[in-house]
Amino acid sequence: MGTAEQLTFEVFYLSTRDRSFRALLATVRDPDEADDLVAEAYTRALANWSDVSLHPSPLAWVARTALNLHRDRWRRSSRLKLVPPSEVPAYSADIDPAILESVARLSPRQRDVIVYRVLLDLSAEDTARELNIDVGTVGTHLRRALAALRDGLAQPALSPESTVEAHS
């Protein structure tokens, strides 16, 4: 890889790494796992930068690679590790833990659409291409996911005391 390619990759990495991490954290929920997966995805992108740089959305390529790595690991371990929102470290504090919790409760397809459209800020067309679905389907899943997130975030959390009082 030439110096110009290295600089191009470096600029890409520095400008997209945080978004990639936040997007993956919304799916993986374990900050250490998300960090490891993002690092592996960027390592693979660097190794294939001459091809990845020609991809319509290199950021989507990295995200898809990280998500595929996560799914492969999950299948091998047959369990998904979840981290309670209170344990999400400060470096991911720009995403409200309540939002992470709500995103985790979405269906896998809705969660993927939220990750690509909202957290990675990809167009509907790029999201459709990456998820191998129609653009209209992206819109449908996005509307449903946003409605579910609004409903989930609008409901106040009930304390054990208020639950007992409500049933008295």
Q: Where do the domains of the chain lie, and which CATH numbers do they carry?
A: 3-156 (1.20.140)
Per-residue model confidence (pLDDT) at position 166: 47
- The pTM of the full predicted model, rounded to 2 decimals, is 0.61
* 155, containing H or E segment: none
Scored b (16 or more CB within 10 A) or e, 19-47 reads bbbbbbbbbbbbbebbbbbbeebbebbbe
Per-residue model confidence (pLDDT) at position 152: 77
Distance linking the first and last C-alpha atoms of the chain: 70
Per-residue model confidence (pLDDT) at position 167: 47
Residues in Cβ contact with 166 at an 8 Å cutoff, skipping those fewer than 6 apart: 158
Per-residue model confidence (pLDDT) at position 90: 44
Average pLDDT for runs of 10 along the chain of length 168: 81 94 87 92 95 94 92 67 47 66 86 88 90 92 91 61 46
* Other beta carbons less than 10 A from residue 135's beta carbon: 14
